[in-house]
Chain A
Amino acid sequence: MNFNWLHRYASPMNFYSWSLVATRWLGTVSAILFAVGLTGGLVYAPPDYQQGESFRIIYVHVPSAWMSLFIYMVMVSAGTLGLVWHVKLGDMIARASAPLGAWFTFLALATGSLWGKPMWGTYWVWDARLTSELILLFLYLGYIALQGAIEDRRIAARAGAILALVGTVNIPIIHYSVEWWNTLHQGPTITKFDSPSIDTSMLIPLLLMGLAYIFYFCTIVLIRTRCEILEFERNKTWVKQRALEMESV
Chain B
Amino acid sequence: MLTSVKTALTAVIMRDLRRSVRRSQDFVQPLLFFVIVIALFGLAVGPDKEVFQEIAPAGVWIAILLATTINLDRMFLSDYQDGTIELMILSPTPLSALVGAKISAHWLANACPQILMAVILGAILGLKIDVLSALGLSLLLGSPVLSLVGAVASALTVGLRGGALLLSLIILPLYMPTLIFGMAAVTNAALGLSIEAELFFLGGLAFLSATLAPLGAAAALRIRLAAT
Contacts and interface: CB of A to CB of B under 8 A. Distances in A.
Contacts, number: 67
B161 interface: yes
A169 B216 contact: no
Kindly name the residue among A141, A150, A165 whose own CB sees the greatest number of chain B CB atoms within 10 A: A150
B51 interface: no
Given A149-B157, A149-B166, A159-B156, A167 B227 contact: no
Interface string A146-186: 10011010010011001101110110010000000000000
A136 to B, nearest CB: 8
A120 interface: no
Contact-residue size bin, chain B (C-beta under 8 Å from the other chain): 20 to 34
A166 B216 contact: yes
A143 interface: yes
B177 A170 contact: yes
B223 A159 contact: yes
Interface string A135-147: 1101101110110
Contacts of A113: none
Contact of A162 (B156, B173, B180, B226): B156
Given A145-B166, A155-B224, A158-B223, A163 B173 contact: no
Contacts of A166: 149, 152-153, 174, 216
Chief secondary structure at chain A's binding surface: helix
A163 B174 CA distance: 10
Contacts of B152: 162-163, 166
Contact of B176 (A135, A143, A152): A135
Contacts of A111: none
Q: Which of A142, A162, A163, A166 has the most CB of B within 10 A?
A: A166
A23 interface: no
Contacts of B153: 163, 166
A155 B226 CA distance: 8
Interface residues of A, number: 24
A132 interface: yes
Contacts of A152: 227
A162 B170 contact: no
A146 B223 CA distance: 13
Contact of B170 (A145, A155, A170): A145
B201 to A, nearest CB: 11
A162 B156 CA distance: 8
A150 B160 contact: yes
A101 to B, nearest CB: 14
Contact of B223 (A132, A162, A169, A173): A162
Contact of B169 (A141, A155, A158, A167): A141
Contact of A170 (B173, B220, B224): B173
Interface of A: 132, 135-136, 138-139, 141-143, 145-146, 149-150, 152, 155, 158-159, 162-163, 165-167, 169-170, 173
Interface of B: 149, 152-153, 156-157, 160-163, 166, 169-170, 172-174, 176-177, 180, 216, 219-220, 223-224, 226-227
20 contacts: A138-B173, A139-B174, A141-B169, A143-B170, A145-B166, A145-B169, A146-B156, A149-B160, A149-B161, A149-B163, A150-B160, A159-B224, A162-B152, A166-B149, A166-B174, A167-B174, A169-B174, A170-B177, A173-B176, A173-B180
Given A146-B157, A149-B160, A149-B162, 17 more contacts: A132-B176, A136-B173, A141-B169, A145-B169, A149-B161, A149-B163, A150-B227, A155-B226, A155-B227, A158-B223, A159-B156, A159-B223, A162-B223, A163-B153, A163-B170, A169-B174, A170-B177
